[in-house]
């Protein structure tokens, strides 16, 4: 019987899922909507700071949801090593 509750491969996949999801969420948040409009219009720096903080926090929360999902449900089929070599 293993000594750990979560296997090492699942922890690695969860960490990768966190980084991937966080970066994807941040990449889609920054160039769209309010942040770009505020930067181009010369908006209040405090409002811009709040918007940037909200973008970063929501991206980290999305990554955390991915991390916890992989920990609880296991490694998704798309992340399995044998599928990556077949593609």
* Helix (H) and strand (E) counts in the chain: 4, 0
Q: Is 84 a domain residue?
A: no
Let me know if residue 58 belongs to a domain.
yes
Q: Provide the residue range defining the domain that includes 45.
A: 8-75
Measured CA to CA, the distance from residue 76 to residue 84 in angstroms comes to 12
Query: pTM value?
Result: 0.72
Q: For every one of its 87 residues, what pLDDT tens digit does the chain have, with 9 covering 90 and above?
A: 567 788 888 888 899 999 999 999 988 876 666 667 777 777 788 877 887 888 889 999 999 999 999 988 888 777 666 654 554
Q: Is residue 85 part of a domain?
A: no
Look at residue 41 and tell me if it is in a domain: yes
Confirm whether 20 is domain-assigned. yes
Residue 15 has which token pair? 């960490």
Flag whether 24 is in a domain. yes
Is 82 within a domain? no
Q: For the chain, how many structural domains are there in total?
A: 1
């Amino acid at each position: 019987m293993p000594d750990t509750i979560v296997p090492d491969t699942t922890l690695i996949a969860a960490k990768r899922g966190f980084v991937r999801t966080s970066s994807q969420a941040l990449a889609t948040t920054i160039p769209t909507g309010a942040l770009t409009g505020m930067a181009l219009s010369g908006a209040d720096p405090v409002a811009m700071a709040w918007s940037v903080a909200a973008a970063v926090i929501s991206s980290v929360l999305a990554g955390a949801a991915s991390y916890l999902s992989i920990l609880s449900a296991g490694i998704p089929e798309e992340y399995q090593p044998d599928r990556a070599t077949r593609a």
